[in-house]
Amino acid sequence: MKKILSALCCLALAFGYTTFVSADDYPWYSNLNELLRRANLVIVGVALDSFESYVDGIPRTTTSIEVTEVISGNSAKAGDTIEAKLTGHAQPYPLKAGQKYVLFLNENNFLLNPVQAQYLIDEAGNIISLPGNPISIYSLDMLRSPPWWIFLPGWLQWIFRYILFGWIWMK
């Protein structure tokens, strides 16, 4: 009996009766400039509530967000409530109700990437990137008026920061 159940589970998986979407199914960004250029809407907001639904058999997590500030884009304004969407299950990093975030969204309000397009803002105002995200945001001012070097390619940014900041730290 166990063998029959195992075989049926394998067949169900093989023929697509369950769908899982991972972070690997999203584009990966190497620097903040790429994220800023790709996002149609960058906001600061507070997550209100979430629900899961299925569209064509693919899970979708939708979270209501109260917008407190619009960094870029014009499809929302402060005070609006928008629905931020994520294809696939929200685990391991769901948007938690009551938590403040910086979100990078596309034209349909989908997160650009489940790991790289959401940054937590703690009570002290620190912006925290999720584990596995190499892109750091040090302040909201960095998004409002990014420094000129942010538009350089990633490898050139690294060299510039090493020369500039390494020289300062070595004094």
Burial of 99 (C-beta count, 10 Å sphere; 0-12/13-18/19+): middle
Q: Which of 145, 127, 144 is nearest to 136 (CA)?
A: 127
Q: How far apart are CA 118 and CA 130, in angstroms?
A: 8
pTM: 0.74
Inform me whether the pLDDT recorded for 9 exceeds 50.
no
Mean pLDDT of 30-46: 92
Task: Write down the pLDDT at residue 45.
Answer: 98
Inform me whether the pLDDT recorded for 6 exceeds 80.
no
Q: How far apart are CA 66 and CA 53, in angstroms?
A: 21
CATH number of 20-165: 2.40.50
Structure tokens at 80: 């609006």
Mean pLDDT of 90-114: 91
Structure tokens at 81: 């409530």
Mean pLDDT of 138-145: 86
Q: Where are the chain's structural domains? A: 20-165
Q: How far apart are CA 149 and CA 146, in angstroms?
A: 8
Task: Write down the pLDDT at residue 10.
Answer: 44
Q: How far apart are CA 73 and CA 108, in angstroms?
A: 12
Inform me whether the pLDDT recorded for 58 exceeds 90.
no
